[in-house]
Amino acid sequence: MSSDLHFCTITDLSAQLAAKELSATDLMSAVIARTRAVEPRVHAFNSCDEANALTQAAASDARRDDGQSLGPLDGIPIALKDVIAVTGQPLTASSKMLEDFVSPYDATVTTKLKNAGAVLWGRANCDEFAMGSSTENSAFGPTGNPWDVTRVPGGSSGGSAAALAAGEAIAALGSDTGGSIRQPAALCGVVGLKPTYGLVSRYGLIAYASSLDQIGPFARTVEDAAIVLGAIAGHDERDSTSFKTDIPNYRAELATRRGPWKLGIPKEYFAEGLDPEIGAAVEKAIAFYKSQGCEIREVSLPHTQYCLDTYYIIATAEASSNLARYDGIRYGHRSKNAKDVVDLYFQSRAEGFGAEVKRRLILGTYVLSSGYYDAYYLRAQKVRTLIRRDFLNAYREVDALITPTSPIPAFKIGEKSDPLAMYLCDIYTIGVNLAGLPAISVPCGFTKSNLPIGVQLIGQPFQEANLLAIAHAYERAHEWSAKTPNL
């Protein structure tokens, strides 16, 4: 039995569990020990329920003893971002507004993971209400990047990415509204997949921007990501935006889809602002695909320059609507200083929300207000259509696009105090959400300072099997995913 169980893949661990070389209880105990050892420096979790996790692991062992294994995820510890509901567990969105809230129900992805036998472990830290790119906006303190704990892990799903990279979980779920899975995956040196909008149910996900939010997996390898995606994907009647489509065996498809593929290089994504070391690493990834017989073409996404503006109008407008429910009356933080009912509403929101959430709510309320709706929100929706059309036009020529994931490597905690500078960290990821497409970030190198670099592959709608196969082809020929931080 490996002494580094916490750094093993789902693929390896599920084989050991099936062969009875390892028990789920031993695996969970190893992950708990690792978490106790490194969590004070990383702060990947808002809370952990060790007793509950060990109970789940024991139940997995009992199933295997009875010959009733539920599949490759049975007994595997998976962390969940603290915006995904788990019955009886805290659901805080890393906000004082929900600091004492305990979920009374399971999200659909939670139910699916339970049905697959996964051990649900830890409430992963994140930017408050998933609004941020660094996990510094959490009301419970920032998360450190396991490769350098003085640096950010990315965001908003930074806790999920850091937990996985640090060996505090074997896989994790996050949510991606403008890059919140892919960007932290790149900065932490793990695989992060944002599925097509509608492929994975959002029921039980605390809403930020409902037309952009999507739950997806973090994993050590593309194969592991395929396993988790297969468990959580599928239509859900409780989510009106859930799409009815056949769910293939993503893991099996990796072995059958071999390419070569036609890959597009969006010229707008290799412009000013891209860190030279990241640009060089991505160019090497492109060269690898070319060496494997893939046809590489330059394509244009002409409306890319409008992505950032469009995103921050639509996302903040939807956030303004979604977060109106936190009023200090029904649930969540209630001010003790209010003079009357109206003051209760104002005081509760002022005390419960952090600065970045307030900033986005004010902007969102403004663009929806009388006299500005047509000028901002309606126009942004029209530009969003043009952005999606750019991608679909490109897919007439190529199977997928290849780009950097983040323009810069992990930066120091507290370094970016200017909100606009922070927003620019998502410049290569937000277009995917506006267009509703699937995309994956895969490790592709390190900077001279030993900070991870990620390459992003953007696929066609509901073509995750092809996207995963393209990513797997690169990963299989490189050792980046096997590297782990020295904590």
* DSSP code of residue 229: H
Contact 218, 100 (CB under 8 A): no
Contact 126, 26 (CB under 8 A): no
Instruction: Report residue 450 as tokens.
Output: 């030993």
The three-state secondary structure class of 252 is helix
Backbone φ and ψ for 77, nearest 5 degrees, come out as: -75, 120
CA dist 467 → 146, 438, 464 (Å) = 28, 8, 5
What DSSP letter does each residue of 352-403 carry, written as one string? HS-HHHHHHHHHHHHHHSTTTIIIIIIHHHHHHHHHHHHHHHHTTT-SEEEE
Look at strands 262-266 and 400-404 and give their pairing. Answer: parallel
Longest Cα separation, the chain? 71
Beta carbons within 8 Å of 143's beta carbon, 6+ residues apart: 42, 43, 44, 125, 135, 152, 153, 158, 159, 162
The three-state secondary structure class of 443 is strand
Backbone φ and ψ for 121, nearest 5 degrees, come out as: -135, 115
Query: Can 180 be counted among the known catalytic residues?
Result: yes
Instruction: Report residue 470 as tokens.
Output: 């393209």
| Distance in angstroms (rounded) separating the CA atoms of residues 282 and 286 | 6
What DSSP letter does each residue of 265-302 carry, written as one string? EEGGGSSTT--HHHHHHHHHHHHHHHHTT-EEEEE--T
Which one of the listed residues 23, 81, 138, 175 is annotated catalytic? Answer: 81
Cis status, amide bond into 266, omega within 30 of 0? no
Query: Can 20 be counted among the known catalytic residues?
Result: no
Query: Can 133 be counted among the known catalytic residues?
Result: no
Contact 383, 314 (CB under 8 A): no
Which one of the listed residues 14, 23, 95, 156 is annotated catalytic? Answer: 156
Q: Assign residue 423 a region (left: φ > 0; alpha: ψ between -120 and 50; beta: otherwise).
A: alpha
The three-state secondary structure class of 331 is coil
| Distance in angstroms (rounded) separating the CA atoms of residues 168 and 82 | 15
Residues forming the active site:
81, 156, 180
